[in-house]
Structure 1
Amino acid sequence: MASATRESAAREPAARRRGPRRWTAALGAALLVAGTAALTGPANAAPAAAGAVDFATRCVPPPVAGIPPINGTTTAEITVDKTAPKVGDTVTVTYKVSKPAASNPVDLALPADIMTPTGEVALGGAQSGKLTVTGPKKNPPVPGKGEFPPFSMTGSFKVTAPGSITLSPGDYNIHTSYIMELDTPCTVSSPPAPVSATIVATDDPGANERAISLGSASGKPGDRVTVTGSKFTPLTEITLAGRAGQAQTADRLTFTSDAEGGFTGRLKVNDRATTGIVAYEGASWSAEKGAGPAAYTVVDDTPLPKDSQKLTASVTAGSLTMSQAGDAVRLSSVDFGTGGGAKGDLQTVTVKDFRGGPAGWSLTGKVTDFTGPSGSVIDAGRLHWVPACATRQGSPSVCEAGSKGSVGSAGATLASAPDGTLTGGEFTVDAWVSLKVPAYTAPGEYSGVLTLTLT
C-alpha cells in the first residue's frame, strides 16, 4: 500500500489588546497534520512520567557573528502521548527546550516569528535510533545579545518491539530567517543526554496480523492460483474463497493450517465474477480472523467466432495516496473569561485510489492535547469536527463523510469508501473544526498535533 505524508502548522497571534481593560486570548491551534498509509492503534493520551533534564551543550554561532562556540547547559523535557503503547502503535513525541544553551549572538534585535527549531530525540532500550522533531516558526522578539526563548518540537515513531523504551533529548538547531538565513547548531557534549521519559511497550495479542499473498494476479477460468498465508492460528481449519466486492463467489477450498499458522493452498477459480481472494478461519468470513481480499482477475477465454481477431489491452494498477492543499490552519481567537470555540477549516485532503481492486479505504485522525504558555493544556477531546467528503464524477466508489463530534487522542473517522466489486476514484475531504476552549484558559497560543492515517 502506498503512503503519503504531509504536515501543516497553524498558529494565531498572541493575546492582543482590543479596548480599555479588555484582553483577548488568541488560542490558535497548530494542527501539524501528518497522513500515512499505515494502520495505527488507538491513542492513550495520558502523558508519560517525564522530567526536565540538564545536559552540557556546545552551540556554534553563525560565522557572521564572529564569536567562538558557546559551551553551556540546555534544560529540556521529553513528553509523549502514549505511556503504554502496543507494538505497531505510533507515538507522538514532544521535545521542549525550556532553556537553550545559545543566545542571540549579535547586537541586532530579532523580530517575532523568525525562528524555526529542529532536533533529534534518542531512543534506547527495547528500541534504538534517532527521531527527527520539528517546531513551528514561532518566537517572541529577542533583544540584541538576549537569550533565545523556549521552544517545542514534535515528531512521531512507530513502536516495533515490546519492552521499556527510553527517550533522551538530542542535538538541536535554531534557524533564523531575518535579513539572512542563519543556523545555530547545538550538540550534546557527552551523548547521550540523560533520559527524560520512558514508555513501556507491549505486544498486541488481539491485533490481526494474518496475511496472504498470491502466486499470480490473474488466470483463465479453471486455473488454480497458489495462495500463501502466515500468522493464522496453528492447526486450524482455513477457507480460501473468491470475493466479488462484499459477496463471496462459488470458488472455495478448505484445509488445515500448519503448526506455525502458515499454509500454502491452490484455489481453483471458476467463477468469472471473482475479483479478489480471501482466507479466513471458521465457518464464515470475518475481518478479525481473515486476510485479504488480494486482487485477482479471471481472464475471459471465450472462443472467438470464425475469421475474427481478439484485441487485448492492459490497465496497470496504481496506488492509494493522499495530499493536502496547504500546510497552515489558523483558528479564530476567543476571549479570556468567556471561552468558546476557536474555529477554522481543515486544509482540503485529496485521496486518490488508483489500485483498481475490491478494497475500500478509510481516513482517520487523532489529535494530541493542545499545549500553551507555562505548561497550560487544552484537552485533545475538546477538538471537534464536522467532516465533509466529495466524490469526483466518474469514480467507481462513493466517498462517505465521517461522523461529526470529538476527535480526541483516541481518534475518529474523517472519511471512507466501502469495499466493492471494483473500487477507486478521486475524492476531496474537508472538515470544519472547533477547539472548545474553557472560559478561564490562560491567554496565549496553543498548539496540538493532528495525525491523519489513510488505510
Structure 2
Amino acid sequence: MGSTSGSTSRRRRWAALLGAGALAVAGAGGLAGPAAAATDVAFATHCIPPAVAGIPPIDGTTTARITVDNATPEVGDTVTVTYTVVTPAASNPTAISLPADIMTPSGKVVLGGAQTGDVTVAGPKKNDPVAGNAPFPGFSMTGTFTVTAPGAITLSPGDYNIHTSYILELDTPCTVTNPPAPVSETVTASDAPAPNTRAIQLGSASGSPGAGVTVTGSDFTPGATVTLAGRSGATQTADTATVTADAAGDFSGSLTVNDKTTTGIVAYEGAAWSSDLGAGPATYVVIDDTPIPDNAQKLTTTVRAGTLSMTQAGDSVSMGAVDYGVGGTSSGDLNTVTVKDFRGGPAGWSLTGKVTDFTGPGAKIDAGALAWTPACATETGSPSTCVPGSPGTVGSSGATLASTPNGTLTGGEFTVDASLALNVPAYTPPGTYSGVLTLTLS
C-alpha cells in the first residue's frame, strides 16, 4: 500500500508540474493568416501552478505572435485572430515522455487604439508528444472580433490558461506581468462604404426592335450624368442614352432598344458600369415581330433549361491506418464529385458536407476530428467558375466543399475533390472506425 500511495502521489505531483510548466510557456499567440506586419514579441509571464503541485508561482518569458486574416477591414467586418505560442519558456520538467493531445489552451487578445476590449481565443486539445526534459511544443488559440470603429487597432497578447488532461484535470492561469504586453499586430479599419440605394424602373418589360422604353431612377447623385444601357447577359450592348439626375437624384429618360439579344437594362454613373454607382439590370425582352419578307421562312428553335445534379465516383473511402499509442493523421481522398448545372438561370449553387462520429469497437472518434482541403475545377466554356471551400474542420455541423456565385447567367460542369485528414487520438482502441460523410447540393 505504501508503495502504491507513493507512486500515486508522485504521478499527481508530476501532472501538476506539467500543468504549471505548460502554462508558463503559453503566453504567445499567432494567427494562421497572411498578415505580414505581425511581429514576435516577448513579455514576462506570471503563472500560478495548481495547489496540488506544491510549488511556488512560475515567472518566465513568453515569445508570442498575433496575426489576422484581414489587416484592412471595414467597420462591421469580422476579423479572425490567432494567438500562438512561438517559443515556449519552459521545458518538460521531468525525464518522463509526455503523450500527445493533453493540452487545451485558452486566453485573451487585448485590443487597443481605435477599438478597445478583449478577444476570447481558444485552441484544440492537440499537441505533439514531448520527450523527457525537452521543450514544450508551441500551440495556437483562435477567435474573432467585429470591427466597431475606424482607425488603427492594436493587438497584444493577454492572459491565458492551459488545461492539461493527463492523470489529473488541471488548470494553470497565467497573467501578463506588466500589462499590456507589446503590440504584435495592428489592423487599420476603415468606415464601411455607404450602401448603394440607387434603383431603376422600366415603363414596360418588353418591346419591338427599335422601340423606346422609359427608364426612371432614384437615389443617384444629384446633377450626375447617368448612362442608360442595354445588357445581353453580362455584356453591355450598343444601345445607350444619357440623362441627368435632378437635385433629388431622380431622373426619367428613354432608351431605344435595337439589339434583339437584350435581356435587361442598367443605369450607372461614370464612364463604365459599376455595381457601386449603378442600378439594375431590370429585365427587358425584345419581341422580334419583324415582318417576314416575301419568299422567306422564319426559323425558330428553343433551348430548354435543364437541372442541377451531381454524381460521385464512388461511395467509400479507405483511409490510412495509424498506430495505437501514437495516433496521428489518417489520410484519404474524397471520391471525385461531378456537378452539372444546366438550369441556365441566375442562381449559383453550393455543395456542403457533414460527417457523423466515427464509431468502432466500443469507442468513437468525434466528427470534429475530420478536416478537409477542398479543390474544384471548371470545365472550359462554363459560364460560372467553381470556388473551393475553405480548408478546415468538417464536423457534424458541416462545411462548404465548393460553390459558384449568382450571376446574370450561370451554369456549367465542374469537378470537386478534397483531401481528407482524420486526427486519431493516440490511445484510441484498436479496430476499424467508420463515419458517414453526407454531401448536399443546393
Between Structure 1 and Structure 2, whose CA radius of gyration is higher? 2
TM-score, normalization: structure 2? Answer: 0.44
TM-score, normalization: structure 1? Answer: 0.43
Q: Which has the higher contact order (CA 8 A, sep 6+)?
A: 1
